[in-house]
Structure 1
Amino acid sequence: MKAAVLRGYREPLSLEDVDLLPPQAGEIRIRFAASGVCHSDMTRIEGARPSALPIVLGHEASAYVEELGPDVTGLEVGDRVVLSFLYDCGRCYFCRTGHPNLCEVGMSMLRHGTMPDGTTRLRKGDEVLHHMAVSSFAEEAVVPARCATKIPDEMPMDVAALIGCAVLTGTGAVFNAAPVRPGDSVLVVGSGGVGLNAVQAAKIAGASVILVSDMNPDKLAMAQTFGATHVVDARSEDPVAKARELTGGRGVDFAFEAIGNKTTIRQCYDAIRPAGKAIVVGAAPVGSCCEIEALSLPFSEKVLTGSMYGGARPKLDVERLVDLYLSKRLRLDELISQTYRLDQINEAFHDLHEGRLARGLIRYE
């Protein structure tokens, strides 16, 4: 099969013929329908978040089940599924305490580029290739069955792919990590794929003020179509001052940082009211640090926290997001800025780097 392989940081992905080993116990073989082009993959390409190399990236996808490994239940060949890039074992401390998005096994898989058993199913001859859990920049993959959630036939496969990362991450930060309630005030910093989903989730949740900050006028205009009540061009206006202006000087109830930058993380902390919550969704480069005044913590009771994968419980949250889309409350079609073939994947990442995409999509059908 064809796959896009990362062999060196800051190098183009290499489209190659690779081999796929059969699924083992608890695994399935899938054929991809669509895959999102995500900033998280770009940070790995650039080396800001190191990976095991060589690796087949891609973690936001929809697919068809082609083959079941031993001991797989609840899925059948031909099922249409959304993939989760974070495996949850169901047995570790975090899974048992209600945080499957922090699963010890799943996190180890991401760090080492393997399946749950520590091995891989990707080869090129005798060469071992690593996984990005889903590894959707390929025609097919073998993934843990626990990473697949069945979706109904009426759900379009192209937009379904986006649920696997951008939508779960952005909406989950609002619904799970906050949670935002009717009448709350919100700042969203960064209006890419994740940020736009935070915006529309805040609208669904009933926020009265939804302020969006970005440096790209086109993205700010798009944010308004997704539910932003106010926007700030951060090149010329201070989002912290605007947040306070809109809230009688207090600051917003919740601020969501969807970029992964120490400066904008600090902006979110400064923009929240006393006892408010700043939630970091974006993945900053390894080693990047954000400094805040320590005295502000006890005297303001502000909370600075993170949201990994939107605190997702994929089996439950995917089904809820599909229902929201089918009831026309969640906008997904409008997120797709451009579609590409697999052999255009480097062009897709160039467009993402240049700020041209809310979400790019690789189509396999």
Structure 2
Amino acid sequence: MQEVRGVIARGKGAPVEVTTIRVPDPGPGEAVVRVQTCGVCHTDLHYREGGINDDFPFLLGHEAAGIVETVGAGVTDVAPGDFVILNWRAVCGTCRACLRGRPWYCFNTHNATQPMTLTDGTPLAPALGIGAFIEKTLVHAGQCTKVDPSARPAAVGLLGCGVMAGLGAAINTGQVGRGDSVAVIGCGGVGDGAVAGARLAGAAKIIAVDTDPRKLEWARGFGATHTVNAKETDPVAAIQELTGGFGADVVIEAVGRPETYKQAFYARDLAGTVVLVGVPTPEMTLELPLLDVFGRGGALKSSWYGDCLPSRDFPLLVDLYQQGRLDLDAFVTEEIPLDGVEAAFAKMHTGDVLRSVVVL
């Protein structure tokens, strides 16, 4: 058992606080990781505001990189001293999705079984089963993906959630191909990840859509060939005009709202693909003419975590980063201390940052 500092949310909407947390020694299949960096993701804000569930208090943070400190019995894939990115979908290998060769859809992902607690013994609910706004965290060993130790932790740690979700929405879910036209609606961290993924995949035209001119400029930096300000222009008409009147081959919706999903649906070409990677809230509903769903053909897909397989995708993407072919550094707007998370949430609301990253 160790006592370390970490960031918790005690109740809905309450400011987060840094406090002392007890981290158990790793049991069978578990690992303790010394966290080096952790990105501040919108999902953490959702947890604090009660938008995920009400299992307070939460230990926030999940977009992390660090060094394995100790491992429990039976752990063979990672060892003390390994540099790892944490992931929130440690696949089981035995469920029906895994046995069908689709482990990125694993229905029985692993987390640590022992709880981390406050000093009075109150168990904490770790965000996405990780909880990484903390000096050391306890996770399932399968949540640790070993990567090149010379990579910059603040940059590659972002593959743990938002950037991977966007990259994977383009490459894995949308299966963007060479010469395709792609539109991305919503250009925050996930949307810009999708822009970067479309560029990596060889898309000929990448249209970024947002209402914030700053975000559109960021998207250009990641590879957007065209931008559309949805406050000034109808994005469906603009995307169609930029694609010869047809619509894009793949449209990635990175907002998670019915209005923007409808835009994505009508902005795609016949037999095109819509990918929903933005996360809706529980009360949202969608209404579309069923004849349009039938008549336009193609595919309507949802992307879970970019349909990634961490053991396959994280090392590959880190290698591309090290080669200078994937600019993960550009996602890092600022580096902050552990007690800077609340201020980072405020900057997220105003759109001043792409990613704030806690550096421990």
Fold in common (TM above 0.5): yes
1:98 aligns with 2:94: no
2:56 corresponds, among 47, 53, 58, to 53
Amino acid at match of 1:15: V
Question: Partner of 1:291 in structure 2?
Answer: 287
Q: How far does the alpha carbon of each residue in 1:188-208 deviate from its partner, in whole angstroms, 9 at most, with x for none?
A: 011111111111111111111
Question: Partner of 1:120 in structure 2?
Answer: 115
Give the whole-Å Cα distance in 1 for the aligned partners of 2:253 and 2:135. 33
Question: Partner of 1:112 in structure 2?
Answer: none
Give the whole-Å Cα distance in 1 for the aligned partners of 2:181 and 2:315. 27
Give the whole-Å Cα distance in 2 for the aligned partners of 1:202 and 1:240. 19
User: Tell me, which stretches of 5 or more residues in structure 2 are unaligned?
Assistant: none
Question: Partner of 1:182 in structure 2?
Answer: 178
Q: How far does the alpha carbon of each residue in 1:50-75 deviate from its partner, in whole angstroms, 9 at most, with x for none?
A: 24211102111001111111111022
Measured after TM superposition, the shift of residue 87 of structure 1 is: 2.2
Measured after TM superposition, the shift of residue 352 of structure 1 is: 0.9
Which TM-score applies when normalising by structure 2? Answer: 0.96
Are the structure 2 counterparts of residues 304 and 158 from structure 1 closer, same or farther at C-alpha, using a change threshold of 3 Å? Answer: same
For residue 128 of structure 1, give the secondary structure of its aligned residue in structure 2.
coil
Describe how 1:138-153 pairs up with structure 2 within 5 A: 138-153=134-149
For residue 52 of structure 1, give the secondary structure of its aligned residue in structure 2.
coil
Amino acid at match of 2:5: K
> Is the 1:5–1:14 contact (alpha carbons within 8 Å) kept by the matching residues of 2?
yes
Give the whole-Å Cα distance in 1 for the aligned partners of 2:171 and 2:196. 11
1:155 aligns with 2:158: no
Measured after TM superposition, the shift of residue 104 of structure 1 is: 2.3
Q: How far does the alpha carbon of each residue in 1:226-278 deviate from its partner, in whole angstroms, 9 at most, with x for none?
A: 11111011111111101110112111110111111111111111101111111
User: Tell me, which stretches of 5 or more residues in structure 1 are unaligned?
Assistant: 110-114
1:275 aligns with 2:237: no
Name the Cα RMSD after superposition. Answer: 1.4
Are the structure 2 counterparts of residues 160 and 51 from structure 1 closer, same or farther at C-alpha, using a change threshold of 3 Å? Answer: farther
Give the whole-Å Cα distance in 1 for the aligned partners of 2:52 and 2:236. 29
2:26 corresponds, among 14, 23, 27, to 23
Describe how 1:241-280 pairs up with structure 2 within 5 A: 241-280=237-276
> Is the 2:112–2:138 contact (alpha carbons within 8 Å) kept by the matching residues of 1?
no
Measured after TM superposition, the shift of residue 116 of structure 1 is: 5.3
Amino acid at match of 2:220: Q
Give the whole-Å Cα distance in 1 for the aligned partners of 2:280 and 2:13. 17
Question: Partner of 2:67 in structure 1?
Answer: 64
For residue 125 of structure 2, give the secondary structure of its aligned residue in structure 1.
strand
For residue 127 of structure 1, give the secondary structure of its aligned residue in structure 2.
coil
> Is the 1:22–1:121 contact (alpha carbons within 8 Å) kept by the matching residues of 2?
no
Q: How far does the alpha carbon of each residue in 1:282-326 deviate from its partner, in whole angstroms, 9 at most, with x for none?
A: 111112112211111221114222000000010010011011101
Q: How far does the alpha carbon of each residue in 1:142-172 deviate from its partner, in whole angstroms, 9 at most, with x for none?
A: 1011111111222111112111112211111
Question: Partner of 1:213 in structure 2?
Answer: 209
Give the whole-Å Cα distance in 2 for the aligned partners of 1:282 and 1:51. 22
Are the structure 2 counterparts of residues 98 and 356 from structure 1 closer, same or farther at C-alpha, using a change threshold of 3 Å? Answer: farther
Give the whole-Å Cα distance in 2 for the aligned partners of 1:22 and 1:121. 10
State how many pairs are aligned. Answer: 356
